[in-house]
Amino acid sequence: MPHPRRLIWFCQTEHVAKQPEQLALLRDEIGLTTIMPESPICHTSGFRASPEVAARGPFEDWRERGEAWPKVSEGIYPPVSGVIGGFDDTDLCRVIEAASAAGIEVWGHIGLWSYGGDVYPEHALRTIDGASLDTRYSRWGIGLCPSREAINQWTKDGLVDIAQRYDVDGFCVDHARYPQPASVSALAACGCASCVEEGTTLGFDVAILHQALRDTVRRVRDIKGSRLQQLARDRLSPEQLWAALEISPHVTEWFQMRSALLAKQMQHFREGVQQIDASMVFGCDIFAPSVSLFGGHDLALWETATDYITGGSSAGGVVGWATASTNAAFEWTRSLAEVTQGAEADWLELTLQVLGVDDLAIPRDIEALDQGRDLPIEELYDREIARLVADTNDRVPLYPPVSAGGDPERTRRLCRSIADHGGHGAMMTLAPDRKETLRAIQEGFGA
Ligand SMILES: [Zn+2]
């Protein structure tokens, strides 16, 4: 059976509640099929947890954590796993009703693990050496440990509770990942006892994987600057480079284990909601394919754990696809140049090679990459879409992310990339009253 085509609007609950007529407009203008509403106040679609679920919530005391979460003063909830109690769901109910009247699906939205560790340090990711994540990388997220059984069970109960009480057609959960791989510190997490236990249950020899990471760090520190310069010039394939740097296959296995830990939870969540309604789809946004394995998303495995693949945004920020590799490249380069004898320029070249984007016109300039300046966004994005299709097995539909709010020509090209590579639609952010955006989407998908 061919995969369903979908255009999904990643929208604000409060916005759509005020202008519900935009749903029919988008349905008619661009073929909108689905919305994924999120409230920027509570970071879910705006669900009100039932009193029984809220009573067991591990994050209900967030209002007393103003020191770690200053947005308490604005009434903004911390981004944590599950559904916190007490939110007024009037706007969401209005949105669900309007979507139903317009024949548009609603995907519910809740958060999981990649943030919140700074507000709840007792549940935060730990490195394999037991340390907290380095706050130098906090812009990429200070995450929660994904293996706390009590939190995961409570999160699942919250999803089941929502599936029973709200008329949603599925879920697109957020933060189902580790922090962006640009966080060098987060790459070596989580090493806590719960994650060791879970990894062992999944069949991994976790002690060997931890040791492989430590050995790799030691070996990389010892590489001579001249050797590195030569490697940067040789332009090897990522696999050859991995071998030349003598990086153990156990390092790859470490990242596969991290993915497997998340995928197992995703399967549990999916089972829970589909026991309520077998027609509900369940999935999440993933990191761009160039870095996805490093962030907890082994794509082939993810296809077995979720019902579709999508992403957060097309460029910029923590989840932007076009900028995922360049963000990782500059942070990795800075960190490597700091602790090794190699020159920054050589490390930058090598990291771009490892990420498979060294042939693109990317500025060899750390500051420019840090600020996202002068990047070939459309080419980087197209590379990610090509890789998404190549690295998956056509088991689930692919809805890559398109941030359609800016330059219409860029929007048209991003949509064209998806259409050209055989994607099945998109997850879009857009302003419905901008006619030029809607036209660009129509043209890009050739509809
Ligand atoms: Zn852990």
Length of the chain: 447
Q: Do residues 43 and 33 touch, judged by C-beta distance below 8 A? A: no
Q: Do residues 263 and 298 touch, judged by C-beta distance below 8 A? A: yes
What pLDDT does residue 447 have? Answer: 59
Confidence bin at 1 (pLDDT 50/70/90): confident
Q: Do residues 93 and 39 touch, judged by C-beta distance below 8 A? A: no
Between the CA of 126 and the centroid of ligand 1 the distance, in Å, is 6
Span 350-369, average pLDDT: 96
Confidence bin at 162 (pLDDT 50/70/90): very high
The rounded distance, in Å, linking the Cα atoms of 200 and 208 is: 11
What pLDDT does residue 110 have? Answer: 97
Between the CA of 283 and the centroid of ligand 1 the distance, in Å, is 22
Instruction: Compute how many other C-beta atoms are within 10 angstroms of the C-beta atom of residue 347.
Output: 23
CA 248, distance to chain mean position in Å, is 26
Between the CA of 344 and the centroid of ligand 1 the distance, in Å, is 32
Between the CA of 137 and the centroid of ligand 1 the distance, in Å, is 18
Helix (H, G, I), strand (E, B) or coil at 95: helix
- Tokens coding 331: 């942070």
**Is residue 415's pLDDT more than 90?**
yes
Span 159-174, average pLDDT: 97
Span 345-357, average pLDDT: 96
92-132: pLDDT as tens digits: 999 999 999 999 999 999 999 999 999 999 999 999 999 99
417-434: pLDDT as tens digits: 999 999 999 999 999 999
51-68: pLDDT as tens digits: 999 999 999 999 999 999
Between the CA of 260 and the centroid of ligand 1 the distance, in Å, is 13
206-249: pLDDT as tens digits: 999 999 999 999 999 999 999 999 999 999 998 899 889 889 99
Between the CA of 340 and the centroid of ligand 1 the distance, in Å, is 29
Between the CA of 37 and the centroid of ligand 1 the distance, in Å, is 30
Q: What is the pTM of this model?
A: 0.97
Please enumerate in sequence order all residues whose Cβ is within 8 A of that of 313, keeping only pairs 6 or more positions apart, or say none. Answer: 319, 320, 321, 401, 403, 429
What pLDDT does residue 278 have? Answer: 98
What pLDDT does residue 238 have? Answer: 87
What pLDDT does residue 95 have? Answer: 98
Between the CA of 261 and the centroid of ligand 1 the distance, in Å, is 10
| pLDDT over 90 percentage in the chain | 96
Between the CA of 52 and the centroid of ligand 1 the distance, in Å, is 27
Q: Do residues 84 and 60 touch, judged by C-beta distance below 8 A? A: yes
Helix (H, G, I), strand (E, B) or coil at 377: helix
Starting at the edge strand found earlier in the chain, the sheet holding 105-108 runs 398-399, 309-311, 281-286, 170-173, 105-108, 34-38, 6-12, 425-429, 401-403
167-176: pLDDT as tens digits: 999 999 999 9
Between the CA of 124 and the centroid of ligand 1 the distance, in Å, is 8
**What rounded mean pLDDT belongs to the chain?**
97
Between the CA of 79 and the centroid of ligand 1 the distance, in Å, is 18
Between the CA of 125 and the centroid of ligand 1 the distance, in Å, is 6
Q: The domain 6-445: what is its CATH number? A: 3.20.20.80
293-342: pLDDT as tens digits: 999 999 999 999 999 999 999 999 999 999 999 999 999 999 999 999 89
Helix (H, G, I), strand (E, B) or coil at 154: helix
What pLDDT does residue 291 have? Answer: 98
Between the CA of 144 and the centroid of ligand 1 the distance, in Å, is 8
Please enumerate in sequence order all residues whose Cβ is within 8 A of that of 274, keeping only pairs 6 or more positions apart, or say none. Answer: 280, 282
- Tokens coding 419: 């259409």
Q: Which residues have C-beta under 5 Å from ligand 1, the single-atom ion?
A: 145, 147, 190, 192, 194-195
Q: Do residues 64 and 38 touch, judged by C-beta distance below 8 A? A: no
